[in-house]
Amino acid sequence: MEASAASTDTIAAIATAPGAGGIGIVRLSGPNARAIGEALCGFDLRPRHARHARFRDGDRAIIDDGIALHFPAPHSYTGEDVVELQAHGSPILLQQLLRRCLELGARTARAGEFTERAYLHHKLDLAQAEAVADLIAAGSDAAARAARRSLDGEFSQRIDALLAALTALRVHVEAAIDFPEEEIDFLADADLQRRLDDVLAEQAALLVVAARGQRLRDGLHVVIVGPPNVGKSSLLNALAGNARAIVTDIAGTTRDLLREAVRVDGIELTLVDTAGLREAGDAIEREGMRRARAELLRADLVLAVVDARDADAGRAKLATELAEAPRVLWLYNKADLLAPDALPDARADDLWLSARNGLHLDALRLRLRAAAGLGDGAAGAFSARARHVEALRRVGTHLETTARRLQVERAGELAAEELRLAQLALGEITGVVGSDDLLGAIFSSFCIGK
């Protein structure tokens, strides 16, 4: 999409934060924003000047009173003329104000259209625009901080720097192709290899922070799995801090094979009974089994719970169920029932704990926070999305192919083509290269008025 065309129409929407203490905002952006604002207020709007106004309808009747603000292009959120009318937060009044804006020639904004216009006027790049939505939807303090850093452009700056290094590399290789008699020497050049290695190292580093940022944004999906009655619900309750899950004394009384999921500080915890993985009787149980297995495969982390009094045998039994689970942390629960001197030290991938008396639950919380990217490493995290991570992976694949073309095959033209593909993939992240479909998908997920 050509990202410079000036908008010819003016958009309007109610942009009110929920629970904003009684203030509602109608926002206008486009060439007629100022004229529409002045018609509503009955006076000339001075740039960046807050002034009390009575907003009137077509019959000069007062709809409401409040504050009018005008931000002339290009120094506004969208880069266009923007007017904000702050009124009382009554939905009825705000609808009347919006209706008056529409009568005066504005049209209703689509979801995310203000931010889309900001992108089209180069006020934000695509990753920053997405960070606006992430900031609004952030589910934890760490996720909000990460979104803020992306919005400030820290993620984009690293992408841009990598893109610049890639471009320089491609220019170098293309130049070599133009001088075939020297091509082989050029391509075997140690300096070229070193620069390619640097680019690869930065791609790998960015992939790590982006993957962490994606977990911060989307939350960590954790499954608690184990046989009935080992204390899974009790653990979930202890972690959630309130009695959300149902704790029962009798093994296998429930047909509800996949139990409630609870979200704690960006971590989504789902309970699965191993009974639900094996014993499929009627259709309901078979459906439960299918869902339980799907949960295990989808998990970022599996907490495998075993009775501490039966640790080795319990673990051996459960291990086959978990053969395909990507990451497993073993928890030996009910350790309060062991003699104190029978309690082994915690090891890297397992913990002896008690949901009943709280033993080592803090250690479990720390492990969960670290796995979710909320641990110490979260300080420098950016918010990122699945599409960023996926694009960075493709960049990596193209760079590795580039290295092979250069070092093994000495095929300059093919290497240049791989570098071009890597550039394209990287450009998708900030929107230097973007399709209309991609833009539509991103901005339509925003709320109205943003």
Closest separation in Å from C-beta 353 to ligand GDP: 7
Shorter beta-carbon distance to ligand GDP: residue 108 or 248:
248
- Site residues for ligand GDP, 242-261, by CB under 6 A, read 247-249
CA 240, distance to chain mean position in Å, is 23
Query: Binding of ligand GDP at residue 337 (CB under 6 A)?
Result: yes
DSSP state of 189: -
Chain position carrying tokens 């486009």: 30
- Number of residues located near ligand GDP, criterion CB under 6 A: 18
Shorter beta-carbon distance to ligand GDP: residue 131 or 318:
318
Nearest to 382 by CA among 219, 211, 220, 266: 211
Here's the x/- map for ligand GDP, 2-21, by CB under 6 A: it reads as --------------------
Nearest to 219 by CA among 294, 144, 151, 143: 143
CA pair distance 146, 266, nearest whole angstrom: 13
Query: Binding of ligand GDP at residue 275 (CB under 6 A)?
Result: no
Which residues have CB under 8 Å from 267's CB, separation 6+?
A: 219, 220, 222, 368, 369, 372, 374
Give the interface segment with ligand GDP, choosing from 109-117, 223-231, 309-317, 371-379 (CB under 6 A).
Answer: 223-231
Strand ranges of the sheet holding 82-88, from the earlier edge strand across to the other edge: 51-56, 62-71, 82-88, 23-29, 11-14, 107-108
Closest separation in Å from C-beta 360 to ligand GDP: 10
Closest separation in Å from C-beta 231 to ligand GDP: 3
Residue number of the CB closest to ligand GDP reads: 231
Shorter beta-carbon distance to ligand GDP: residue 128 or 333:
333
Closest separation in Å from C-beta 226 to ligand GDP: 6
Give the interface segment with ligand GDP, choosing from 49-57, 328-336, 383-391, 393-401 (CB under 6 A).
Answer: 328-336
Specify whether the CB–CB gap between 112 and 443 falls below 8 A. yes
Which residues have CB under 8 Å from 439's CB, separation 6+?
A: 1, 116, 119, 126, 431
The H or E element that residue 88 is part of is: strand 82-88
Q: Which of 115, 234, 270, 274 binds ligand GDP (CB under 6 A)?
A: 234
Query: Binding of ligand GDP at residue 423 (CB under 6 A)?
Result: no
The H or E element that residue 164 is part of is: helix 154-178
Give the interface segment with ligand GDP, choosing from 82-90, 222-230, 361-369, 371-379 (CB under 6 A).
Answer: 222-230
Q: Which of 333, 401, 423, 430 binds ligand GDP (CB under 6 A)?
A: 333
Q: Which of 87, 196, 230, 304 binds ligand GDP (CB under 6 A)?
A: 230
* Dihedral (CA of 37, 39, 40, 41) sign: positive
3-state secondary structure of 122: coil
Q: Which of 78, 96, 156, 233 binds ligand GDP (CB under 6 A)?
A: 233
- Site residues for ligand GDP, 65-84, by CB under 6 A, read none
Strand ranges of the sheet holding 350-352, from the earlier edge strand across to the other edge: 258-264, 267-273, 220-226, 301-307, 328-333, 350-352
Bridging pattern class, strands 220-226 and 267-273: parallel
Closest separation in Å from C-beta 15 to ligand GDP: 45
Query: Binding of ligand GDP at residue 334 (CB under 6 A)?
Result: yes
Give the interface segment with ligand GDP, choosing from 106-114, 226-234, 360-368, 427-435 (CB under 6 A).
Answer: 226-234
The H or E element that residue 303 is part of is: strand 301-307
CA pair distance 220, 374, nearest whole angstrom: 10
Query: Binding of ligand GDP at residue 56 (CB under 6 A)?
Result: no
Distances (CA, A) of 159 to 127, 274, 389, 395, 399: 10, 44, 12, 11, 15
Residue ranges with strand state E in 140-234: 220-226
Nearest to 220 by CA among 295, 165, 301, 296: 301
Q: Which of 27, 170, 232, 405 binds ligand GDP (CB under 6 A)?
A: 232
Closest separation in Å from C-beta 336 to ligand GDP: 5
Closest separation in Å from C-beta 291 to ligand GDP: 17
Specify whether the CB–CB gap between 442 and 126 falls below 8 A. yes
Closest separation in Å from C-beta 134 to ligand GDP: 34
- Site residues for ligand GDP, 342-401, by CB under 6 A, read 354-356
- Site residues for ligand GDP, 99-138, by CB under 6 A, read none
Closest separation in Å from C-beta 305 to ligand GDP: 7
Shorter beta-carbon distance to ligand GDP: residue 3 or 338:
338
Which residues would be at the binding site for ligand GDP (CB under 6 A)?
226, 228-234, 247-249, 333-334, 336-337, 354-356
